[in-house]
Amino acid sequence: MEVGAAGEKPPTDMPDLTKSSKLPDRMPKTVSGTVTLSGKPIAGVRVTDGVDFVTTDAEGRYTITLKPDPLIPYSPSRSISVCWPTGTWPKRLKSGKFDWWVRLMDVKDPTGVNFELVTRQQKLPVVMTFGTDPHDNFTRAHNFFWLDETARAGDHVAFAVAGGDLGYLGFGNADKAYTSIRKFTHAFPVLMPHCIGNHDVVGVHSKWWSVPHELAGYGAFVKYVGPVRWSFDIAGIHFVGMDWSLIDKAGKIQLGMAHSALDWLEKDLTAQPEGTPIYFFNHQPWSPHQRFYVLLDKYNVKLALGGHSHRNMFLNSTPAKPGQIEYWTKMSEYTLVYADRDRFDFVDRCIYKGNRKGWDDHWDHHGRACALRNDFAENMSKDFKGKHVGVRDVTLDGKPKTIGTVSGKTYDIRVGARGVGDAPASTWGLRLTVEDGKTYEFIYDEKADMLNLMGLKTYFNPVIPTRNEDLSVVNPEEPTDVESPDHWVEMRILVTPDRVRVLVGNRLHYEKFVTPGRAAKLELFSDGGATEFKRVDVWERTYPADYKPRRTANTG
């Protein structure tokens, strides 16, 4: 329950909108306007009020009749937003806001709610970042590592999603907290729609969430950061986000998905052409209503992604069609998601170690907490058995070098290297060819940081270190300053019975629930300059017969 400054009940000195402004009496029954593309009308674009959808006509015009939303009973806190199609994008204003939504309270002319889109080139895979559960109103340093890495990625990242639980919001602190959240959102290098979390609902634990006040319930969220339900298309993929609250028989908010919200979701998914890949986001992809899972099973949903658990956790597939959809929650901070038409990939990024209780000192999870850490010793440490290959002090300058391999299907590879000489390489790595002929490359590239090409090529770069960061360098006598062009980098590739993990230094950079297969050939390579491979070790791993792969990735 919210306490202190957050407060459940509206303060007595806060204006009561039911008495002071009579805004509901002035709210329009319908809203209309135009959607243009570079100044020209565009037909077939959907517009939503979070309850219904309408589509623009040949002149780019739309009219939407407002129907009640049980979760936003105070109508001035409702929003109108545009669901932009593939090849288009909303304009960014000088304030940093992307102009794709408007709150009804801020509408001056309900017949002129217009949206202007611009043309944008798009390609697959669509790379986006998903950050969740900061609980700090985006004020602490680790949030700005997320911002900085996204900025450095340039055009590689299309957009970001904030998965909720931004702070601990109540009537007493909502304006101040959401002002900070909006500032961070508008400063972010790419568009960032939000999914409202349970801690973002003002008055969530009381009857006060539904009072007619602009901050109550979802009101503060909509006022500062945008719609609670949204959707749009990029490169032929449909992305959709929604809220995670339902109203119980006592009239209080509980965790789950309300039927009124699922009604909106069904309308959105039904409108998608058959076979359209769909990626779903909210604060937690779980619901006590079986209807949610049955609904998603009807469509080509690839991934349902949320937070709330403060863990990287595979929740399970849907009961109706096991294996069709993957439901995941992610730990605090952020994850790269590579979305393609037929598959997706994760790269979990975590800069700030925090302590064993994570970002906000309140989540423990039996010591796993929020901070990403190397858990091999706890979960994966088995005796190394079988063949071992060791290579030391190899310098490459353009020509690859084949090293010995192992016969097993599970193995562990460690590589320590650095660029050297007058023209040090900024790109180097290991090339793995498996029995079926597929080739996987694990590439260190200082410039292509964050770009992962769906598993066959994985680019990475050491994370920006925090002060006194231990980079686990191969040679402890070498400097750990990552700004130096010749710093040591240690990479570890672990192929287990159920996943592939890649670490750089002491941080997990890549994890995928696949097994490439028996290694047929291992090569070291260096492109664009010279690389010294100080140490390369390859072990075959033997797992006990009773080993059971863990589908839940408790990496943090």
Mean pLDDT to the nearest integer, 268-296:
93
Q: Is residue 101 part of a domain?
A: no
> Which sign, positive or negative, has the C-alpha torsion 137, 139, 141, 145?
positive
Under 8 Å CB-to-CB from 436, ≥6 apart: which residues?
A: 517
Number of domains in the chain: 2
User: How far apart are alpha carbons 100 and 115 in whole angstroms?
Assistant: 6
Identify which has the larger pLDDT, 463 or 263.
263
CATH number at residue 442: 2.60.120.560
Give percent above pLDDT 70 in the chain.
74
Q: Which helix (H) or strand (E) holds 100?
A: none
DSSP 424: B
* Residue 418, phi then psi, degrees to nearest 5: -160, 155
Identify which has the larger pLDDT, 127 or 470.
127
Q: Which domain holds residue 537?
A: 376-541
Is there a single domain that holds both residue 394 and residue 331? no
CA 383 to chain centre: 35
pLDDT, position 361: 34
Where is average pLDDT lowest: 27-41, 105-119, 193-207, 322-336?
322-336
> In b/e form, how buried is each residue of 203-237, taking b as 16+ CB within 10 angstroms?
bbebebbbbbbbbbbbbbbbbbbbbbbbbbbbbbb
Is there a single domain that holds both residue 205 and residue 312? yes
N-terminal to C-terminal alpha carbon distance within the chain: 26
Q: Is residue 491 part of a domain?
A: yes
- What digits encode the pLDDT tens for the residues 45-93? 999 999 999 999 999 999 999 999 999 999 999 999 999 999 999 999 9
CB 24 within 8 A of CB 221: no
CB 514 within 8 A of CB 553: no
Q: Is residue 331 part of a domain?
A: yes
Is there a single domain that holds both residue 344 and residue 409? no
Q: Is residue 174 part of a domain?
A: yes
pLDDT, position 99: 96
- Identify which of 26-40, 77-91, 123-137, 316-330 has the greatest average pLDDT: 77-91
CATH number at residue 205: 3.60.21.10
SS3 70: coil
pLDDT, position 360: 34
- What digits encode the pLDDT tens for the residues 96-126? 999 999 999 999 999 999 999 999 999 988 9
Is there a single domain that holds both residue 506 and residue 423? yes
Identify which has the larger pLDDT, 433 or 86.
86
Is there a single domain that holds both residue 228 and residue 128? yes
Query: Which two tokens mark 457?
Result: 């090529």
- Identify which of 50-64, 163-177, 421-435, 542-556 has the greatest average pLDDT: 50-64
E strands in 209-343: 230-234, 237-241, 246-247, 253-254, 278-281, 301-306, 313-316, 326-329, 333-339
* Residue 431, phi then psi, degrees to nearest 5: -110, 125
> In b/e form, how buried is each residue of 279-316, taking b as 16+ CB within 10 angstroms?
bbbbbbbbbeeeebbebbbebbbbbbbbbbbbbbbebb
Residue 231 confidence (pLDDT) above 70: yes
Q: Of all residues in the chain, what percent are helix, strand and coil, respectively (each to 5)? A: 15, 35, 50
Is there a single domain that holds both residue 167 and residue 306? yes
Q: Residue 520 carries which side chain, given as an amino acid letter? A: A
Residue 255 confidence (pLDDT) above 60: yes
pLDDT, position 378: 37
pLDDT bracket for residue 370 (50, 70, 90): very low
Residue 347 confidence (pLDDT) above 80: no
Is there a single domain that holds both residue 393 and residue 522? yes
pLDDT bracket for residue 219 (50, 70, 90): very high
pLDDT bracket for residue 334 (50, 70, 90): confident
Query: Which two tokens mark 456?
Result: 């066959």
CA 538 to chain centre: 33
Q: Which helix (H) or strand (E) holds 290?
A: helix 290-297
Q: Is residue 217 part of a domain?
A: yes
> In b/e form, how buried is each residue of 461-484, taking b as 16+ CB within 10 angstroms?
bbbebeeebebbbbeeebebebee
Residue 375 confidence (pLDDT) above 60: no
Is there a single domain that holds both residue 181 and residue 258? yes
pLDDT bracket for residue 469 (50, 70, 90): very low
Is there a single domain that holds both residue 337 and residue 429? no
Is there a single domain that holds both residue 382 and residue 340? no
Is there a single domain that holds both residue 427 and residue 345? no
Of the residues 296, 330, 349, which one is the last residue of a structural domain?
Answer: 349
Is there a single domain that holds both residue 323 and residue 439? no
pLDDT, position 274: 94
SS3 117: strand
Where is average pLDDT lowest: 174-188, 294-308, 461-475, 520-534?
461-475
Residue 95 confidence (pLDDT) above 80: yes
pLDDT, position 321: 54
Under 8 Å CB-to-CB from 548, ≥6 apart: which residues?
A: none
Q: Is residue 44 part of a domain?
A: no
CB 533 within 8 A of CB 417: yes
DSSP 379: I
Q: Is residue 4 part of a domain?
A: no
Q: Is residue 554 part of a domain?
A: no
Strand pairing partners for 336?
129, 347
- What digits encode the pLDDT tens for the residues 511-550? 666 778 888 889 999 988 899 998 888 888 777 777 665 5
**Taking every pair of C-alpha atoms in the chain, what is the biggest distance, in angstroms?**
79
